[in-house]
């Protein structure tokens, strides 16, 4: 199974995720999330596969999130509006996003990676 890793090279969490995948012999395609952000359709698919709330896909600690005042605006946005916003700027997306055939993980926690991708 080949994975897609949407990552930002300057992000320490992303580098940890990439290193974990390499150390565990996982085949993956690393995609720069800012240069090639996932499309609205891809994000919709990731969201459905992940089983998580769409709000979890936002990089809430990011500068862009704060600049746009999204903390106060997200609750009023429709799913479609949120997906549109996320696909407009890779810096708004929580990273890394790791995508496989059946699963999607957001961020990096070693236990979650071992459980989801360690098989």
Q: What is the pLDDT of residues 47-102, one digit of tens each?
A: 999 999 999 999 999 999 999 999 999 999 999 999 999 999 999 999 999 999 99
**Residues 12-30, mean pLDDT to the nearest whole number:** 97
**Predicted structure pTM score:** 0.93
Per-residue pLDDT for 119 more than 80?
A: no
Write the pLDDT tens digit of every residue in 28-41: 999 999 999 999 99
**Residues 1-21, mean pLDDT to the nearest whole number:** 95
Q: Is the dihedral of CA 84, 57, 10, 91 positive or negative?
A: positive
In the structure, what pLDDT confidence band is assigned to residue 1 with cuts at 50, 70 and 90?
Answer: low
- Smallest CA-to-CA distance from 49 within 83, 99, 15, 113 is with 99
Per-residue pLDDT for 2 more than 90?
A: no
DSSP H helical ranges for the chain: 12-23, 40-50, 63-67, 70-73, 79-88, 110-117
Residue 76 burial (10 A CB sphere; 0-12, 13-18, 19+) = exposed
CATH class of 3-117: alpha beta
Contact 28, 17 (CB under 8 A): no
């Amino acid at each position: 199974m080949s994975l897609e890793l949407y990552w930002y090279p300057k992000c320490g969490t992303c580098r940890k995720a990439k290193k974990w995948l390499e150390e565990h012999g996982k085949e993956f395609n690393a995609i720069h999330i800012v240069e090639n952000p996932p499309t609205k359709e891809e994000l919709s698919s990731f969201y459905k596969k992940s089983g998580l709330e769409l709000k979890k896909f936002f990089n809430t600690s990011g500068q862009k999130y704060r600049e746009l005042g999204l903390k106060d605006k997200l609750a009023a946005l429709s799913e479609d509006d949120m997906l549109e916003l996320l696909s407009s700027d890779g810096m708004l997306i929580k990273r890394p996003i790791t995508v496989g055939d059946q699963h999607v993980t957001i961020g990096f926690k070693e236990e979650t990676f071992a459980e989801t991708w360690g098989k």
